[in-house]
Amino acid sequence: MKAIQYRIRPPGWVACKLLHYFWPSCRRSCLNGIYLVDVPCPELPGPDWVCLRTLMGGICGSDVSLLFQKQPPDSMLQCYCSMPIGLGHENLAVVEDVGDNVDRKWIGKKVIVDPTLACMDRGTEPPCDRCAAGEYGVCENFSGDMGGAAGLPPATGIGYSNRTGGSWGEYFVAHHRRLIAVDKTVPDNQAITIDPVACSLHGIFRTDLKNVETVLVYGAGIIGLGAVACLRAVGFEGRIDMIGKYSYLEDLARWKGADEYLTLPGSDEARARVIASRTGATLQRARFGNFMLSGGYDLSVDCIGTARSFTEVLKWTRARGQVVALGTLQKESIDLVPLWFRELNIIGVSGRQLEHFDGDRKETYRIIHDWIKEGKIDLDGLVTHTFKIDEYKDALKVAMNKSRYKAIKVAFDFR
């Protein structure tokens, strides 16, 4: 089968780090460890697993972050992947074959797959405390140290493993309990966005909306647009301001439920003044052009994950307000004074779980799928570009330069 794999090789990694200023496309080349390869289909790790034929594979922001070399060499995330990585965790697929313990009625069904490789997937008994509580997105066994019948290597999920393949390939494997059958009323271009929007929803579920009247969503990519849509889907009726850089996203942001779409000026003071005027806060000035607010939003959601975005949401959230880290933060210098001085509640978000919802417990993926089916949420318009697997360099070029191509979600199309 054809698949895109990634392997970090220190000399190539260092060369790309130095050369990308003069040769931007080096990060899409084999020098950076990216290859289109012909490899055997991955074998089922156990009788509870299935083989899937990929229909679509999304390019996630975390994939771009990895290939953009935003993870430093000493990142802890290196403990939770196994090289060569079979890239791609956002997926839409058809079940091709099943293990001995799986109902053969799954064969031929169109599905999405929660890519998490937690204790259940590994066959680890007893499971870790987090998995036992249904919080498998923060499993304590992603490193595989607790073993398991499947013998899986370290990886947080499909798309970061050398055993499962990924959705940037023609086939991959998954545990049958991670499958969600896609209803025929759910369009493919919405089904492929369930993974990123499920991450947004998980972040919203981690907050306490009871006393929240104003929300700032910082970032107008698919995670930010998903956060706005999910806030409206759970019944939030307060004001949502969204910060974006590009005017082509404004109409879509308002369609998904944002009240105001803000494109902020460049200087720190001017940016802070805009936020102060929106929230009724007062500007507090320190030395050397540093600013903070007294007052601000009740809830701020950082969907970017840069030093600037996270520092600004800390500074623009009212005392004892909530800050959600939905973007993939790296090791960077961040002004943490507002964290302790304003007694902020910081909420980290990674992945999904069995959510407490409507008096029941449901997988985050399943909630989004059912909302699409019921018309409670509309994810149309988020997939803007699709490519065949042989066009992977062009696909990565668009995904790495979204503003130039007015892209939101870029995906590989195997249909």
State the CB neighbour count (10 A cutoff) for residue 410.
25
pLDDT number for residue 42: 97
Give the residue-averaged pLDDT of 185-194: 98
Nearest Cα to 217, choosing from 144, 309, 135? 309
Give the residue-averaged pLDDT of 11-29: 89
Length of the chain: 415
* pLDDT of 289 over the 90 cut: no
- For 391-412, the pLDDT digits (tens) are 999 999 999 999 999 999 999 9
pLDDT number for residue 24: 87
pLDDT number for residue 343: 95
Residue 79: pLDDT band (50, 70, 90) is confident
**Neighbouring-strand partners of residue 302:** 218, 325
pLDDT number for residue 287: 86
- For 207-231, the pLDDT digits (tens) are 999 999 999 999 999 999 999 999 9
pLDDT number for residue 283: 93
Give the residue-averaged pLDDT of 381-389: 97
C-beta of residue 290 within 8 angstroms of C-beta of residue 268: yes
Residue 286: pLDDT band (50, 70, 90) is confident
- For 108-148, the pLDDT digits (tens) are 999 999 999 999 999 999 999 999 999 999 999 999 999 89
pLDDT number for residue 76: 76
Tell me the C-alpha to C-alpha distance, in Å, between residue 148 and each of 30, 48, 163, 232, 309: 34, 13, 14, 40, 39
* pLDDT of 75 over the 90 cut: no
Q: By three-state DSSP, how is residue 376 classified?
A: coil
Nearest Cα to 221, choosing from 249, 198, 247, 194? 249
Give the residue-averaged pLDDT of 316-345: 90
| Higher per-residue pLDDT: 102 or 61 | 102
pLDDT number for residue 92: 98
pLDDT number for residue 258: 98
Q: 8-17, 66-75, 263-272, 327-336: which has the highest mean pLDDT? A: 263-272
- For 237-272, the pLDDT digits (tens) are 999 999 999 999 999 999 999 999 999 999 999 999
Give the residue-averaged pLDDT of 326-335: 82
* pLDDT of 77 over the 90 cut: no
* pLDDT of 358 over the 90 cut: no
* pLDDT of 333 over the 90 cut: no
Amino acid residing at 331: K
Domains and CATH numbers, the chain: 2-117+152-193+382-413 (3.90.180.10), 197-348 (3.40.50.720)
The phi and psi torsions of 76 (rounded to 5 degrees) equal -65, -20
C-beta of residue 174 within 8 angstroms of C-beta of residue 158: yes
Which helix (H) or strand (E) segment is 310 a member of?
A: helix 307-315
pLDDT number for residue 409: 97
Residue 332: pLDDT band (50, 70, 90) is confident
* pLDDT of 105 over the 90 cut: yes
**Neighbouring-strand partners of residue 325:** 302, 348
Q: By three-state DSSP, how is residue 258 classified?
A: coil
C-beta of residue 274 within 8 angstroms of C-beta of residue 296: no
Provide the mean pLDDT of the chain: 94
